[in-house]
Amino acid sequence: MPALNVFISWSGEQTRELGHVLKAFLDAAFAGHVETFLSDADIAPGERFLSVINAQLDGADLGILLVSRSNLISPWLLFEAGALAGKTSRGSVIPVLVDLDRSELISPLDQFQNALGSSRADLDKLWKRLQQATGGLPNDHSLKVLTDDGWPALEAAFALAAAPIDAADAPRPRSQEEVLEEIRLGVNSLVRRERGFLDWPQTHRGLIDNSGLKIDVGQRLFHPDFGSGEVMNITGEGDKTVLHVAFTAVGPKKLLKKLAPITLDGAG
């Protein structure tokens, strides 16, 4: 049976990073049985963006829409939803709600059966639906092992994407020096990703756990991708504690405290 082609639709920064983690999760859990497409990851430099998107929409068997309050009426998301609804042959369109309740979903997206990103039970049903569409592959035992293994990373990504936007996240002007530093950090990040240092299955299999790290507002942190920054606010609690950090080079970012690769600035 040919692989199931899954198109992951996103719009806006809130769902872009989540899309990457979801793609990694599906590629690992359904390796060889599902082929995922995410525009931010799968369009090579120099390719014609719209041509690639249209070809992928034409060949998609199923579409997963990452829907948030910030992109609920995004023209691009709605365009992809409509294209997928009209072209999918073996599957359909499944909105996954990032920070929305079902009652907040509006037309035309409310016509599709959806899943709550905050619900493990809902997402397990989605994995079973994918499994059924691939002819029962992987088998039930393998699917449970693989999805259990990848769940902490995916849960963390959904929690981070759903975290309330804080005033500290408002954009600010940056100097030329800060822009150049952002470029340098970005290049370093790409090098590390290429070497596999930030591969999500490795990162989240117990190698990082900041549960016991005491962090207060005003604390300075260091992140290998973003550089040095100051904690401006802390929201959530327990494993879903989110740090709102103003980084010198890249501006405001939200980090899930438990799993972020951070050190206290000056601590190493």
What secondary structure, in 3-state letters, does 202-227 show? HHCCCCCCCCCCCCCCCCEEEECCCE
**Could you give the residue ranges of the DSSP H alpha helices within the chain?**
13-29, 39-42, 49-59, 75-87, 120-133, 140-162, 176-195, 200-203
Distance CA 142, CA 92 (A): 25
Distance CA 146, CA 161 (A): 23
pLDDT at residue 224, rounded to an integer: 81
What are the angstrom distances between the C-alpha of 46 and each of 12, 76, 181?
22, 21, 25
Phi, psi of 205 (to 5 degrees): -95, 55
What is the residue type of 9? S
What are the angstrom distances between the C-alpha of 155 and each of 81, 100, 120, 220?
24, 16, 8, 26
Of 225, 124, 265, nearest in space to 255 by CA: 225
Which tens digits make up the pLDDT trace of 107-151? 889 989 999 999 999 999 999 999 999 999 999 999 999 999 999
Can you name the CATH fold of 4-162? Rossmann fold (3.40.50)
pLDDT at residue 68, rounded to an integer: 95
Of 139, 136, 94, 133, nearest in space to 113 by CA: 94
pLDDT at residue 190, rounded to an integer: 45
pLDDT at residue 247, rounded to an integer: 87
pLDDT at residue 178, rounded to an integer: 55
Distance CA 120, CA 170 (A): 31
Residue 133 and residue 90 in contact, taking contact as beta carbons nearer than 8 Å: yes
Distance CA 38, CA 29 (A): 16
pLDDT at residue 216, rounded to an integer: 93
Segments making up each domain of the chain, as ranges: 4-162, 167-264
Considering the domain 167-264 in this protein, what is its CATH number? 2.30.30
pTM (whole model) above 0.95 = no
Q: What is the mean pLDDT of each run of 10 residues along the chain (268 residues)?
A: 90 91 94 93 82 90 94 89 73 89 90 94 96 92 93 93 65 53 52 43 53 91 86 87 86 82 71
231-235 long-range Cβ contacts below 8 angstroms, 24+ apart? 232/166, 232/168, 233/166, 233/167, 233/168, 235/163, 235/164, 235/166
Whether 4-162 and 167-264 share one fold: the answer is no
pLDDT at residue 196, rounded to an integer: 43
Q: What is the DSSP letter of 171?
A: -
- Assign 43 to helix, strand or coil: coil
pLDDT at residue 199, rounded to an integer: 43
pLDDT at residue 164, rounded to an integer: 75
Count how many residues are written for the chain: 268
Distance CA 200, CA 137 (A): 23
Phi, psi of 110 (to 5 degrees): -75, -5
Distance CA 100, CA 110 (A): 12
